[in-house]
């Protein structure tokens, strides 16, 4: 199996200089990525998820040759990202949901023509790819529209095409469905699934939308505190940590975390507390115990969903 991304004990430390007085500056360091091990084979559709500040963007910036690692070993498509970044640029595509790589004032068609030149894509291949993606993403009627006049969903379809015209082996997507309506999300997801299936493009997908993961990814890597907290399939992740249900409790007044054996408070917000408890626990008995010791106003039970699964993984 050919590995497209190989990271061994990869790390990145940021150094910050903070002004503490008029003359003094203090140096602090942030270990954004530490000892990260990851191997992504060709053709994978990988969900790369984790809480805010976990180190996802930093690691992806290293995978794409934008940031140099502080330590460890990294190869992408057989290249060393920083040393070989020009060669690497031809092998990868990047889409950021929050930003566009297209030229704001130019019609889509002209942005694509510029990319044709920048990547020196052979004419026939450019024409063939453009026709294919314009058809799949229904961009025909929009080719002469300036990017600034496109809706978010239309722009995302344009960005996906722009990232793929040069036939990259790996496509990195950062929140590709953020802000999109349900229909546009479906278009993007169907397109990515087909791209991976038909062309074998390796996809690394970062998203906070767990529906994206559920619908697309066979394998999930959870990053936490700069390192891999879980690497495996989604079903096994769910099985590993989803054995908990959540009791949402409203108390008469805010107070300390409820202390009842067999439960763990996972969240506390004013009068409301969230308690994780194993599926096999008798919920009625648990509620009765809490009611006998705390001033209870309301309770509800939530079955585990994938967000809980990830949150519980972090808690552990
Ligand atoms: N340029 C920078 N200088 C200093 N610290 C940084 C820089 N970029 C990121 N960090 C810090 O590194 C850590 C990892 O950040 P990173 O952006 O990689 O996380 P993330 O998982 O992508 O988060 P999010 O989901 O919020 O995008 C955080 O503590 C962040 O504050």
Q: Is 187 helix (H, G, I), strand (E, B) or coil?
A: helix
Give the pLDDT score at 19. 80
The closest of 176, 173, 186 to 215, measured between CA atoms, is 186
Could you give the ipTM of this predicted complex? 0.97
- Expressed in angstroms, the distance from the first to the final Cα of the chain is 33
> pLDDT per residue over 135-172, tens digit each?
999 999 999 999 999 999 999 999 999 999 999 999 99
Q: What's residue 241's pLDDT?
A: 63
Q: Is the CB of 66 under 6 A from ligand 1?
A: no
What is the fold of 3-238?
Answer: Rossmann fold (3.40.50)
Question: Residue ranges of the domains in the chain?
Answer: 3-238, 243-315
Rounded CA separation 174/201 (Å): 16
pLDDT tens for each residue of 45-92: 999 988 888 899 999 999 999 999 999 999 999 999 999 999 999 999
CATH code of domain 243-315 = 3.30.70
pLDDT of residue 306: 59
Residue nearest to ligand 1 atom 31, measured at CA:
53
Grouping H, G, I as helix, E, B as strand and the rest as coil, residue 18 is: strand
Kindly state the percentage of the chain with pLDDT values over 70: 94
Name the residue of 50, 57, 212 whose CB sits within 8 Å of the most ligand 1 atoms, as the mutation to test its pocket. Answer: 57
Cβ of 54 less than 6 Å from ligand 1: yes
pTM score above 0.90 = no
Looking at residue 2, its pLDDT comes to 86
* pLDDT for res 71: 96
List the chain residues with pLDDT less than 50: none
């Amino acid at each position: 199996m050919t590995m497209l991304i190989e990271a061994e004990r990869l790390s990145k430390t940021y150094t910050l200089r903070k002004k503490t007085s008029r003359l003094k500056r203090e140096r602090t360091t942030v270990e954004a990525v530490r000892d990260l091990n990851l191997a992504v084979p060709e053709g994978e559709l990988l969900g790369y998820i984790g809480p805010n500040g976990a180190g996802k963007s930093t690691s992806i910036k290293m995978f794409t040759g934008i940031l140099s690692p502080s330590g460890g070993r990294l190869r992408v498509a057989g290249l060393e990202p920083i040393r070989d970044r020009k060669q690497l640029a031809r092998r990868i595509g990047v889409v950021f949901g929050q930003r566009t790589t297209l030229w704001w004032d130019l019609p889509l068609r002209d942005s694509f023509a510029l990319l044709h030149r920048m990547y020196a894509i052979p004419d026939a291949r450019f024409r063939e790819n453009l026709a294919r993606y314009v058809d799949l993403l229904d961009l025909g009627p929009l080719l002469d529209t300036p990017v600034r006049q496109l809706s978010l969903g239309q722009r995302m379809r344009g960005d996906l095409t722009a990232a793929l015209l040069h036939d990259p082996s790996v496509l990195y997507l950062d929140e590709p469905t953020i802000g999109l309506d349900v229909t546009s999300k479906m278009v993007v997801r169907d397109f990515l699934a087909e791209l991976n299936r038909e062309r074998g493009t390796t996809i690394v997908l970062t998203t906070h939308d767990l529906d994206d993961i559920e619908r697309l990814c066979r394998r999930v890597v959870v990053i936490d505190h700069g390192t891999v907290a879980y690497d495996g399939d989604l079903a096994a992740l769910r099985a590993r940590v989803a054995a908990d249900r959540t009791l949402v409790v409203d108390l008469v007044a805010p107070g300390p975390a409820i202390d009842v054996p067999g439960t763990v408070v996972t969240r506390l917000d004013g009068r409301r507390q969230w308690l994780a408890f194993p599926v096999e626990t008798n919920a009625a008995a648990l509620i009765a115990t809490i009611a006998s010791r705390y001033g209870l106003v309301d309770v509800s039970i939530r079955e585990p969903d994938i967000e809980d699964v990830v949150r519980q993984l972090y808690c552990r």
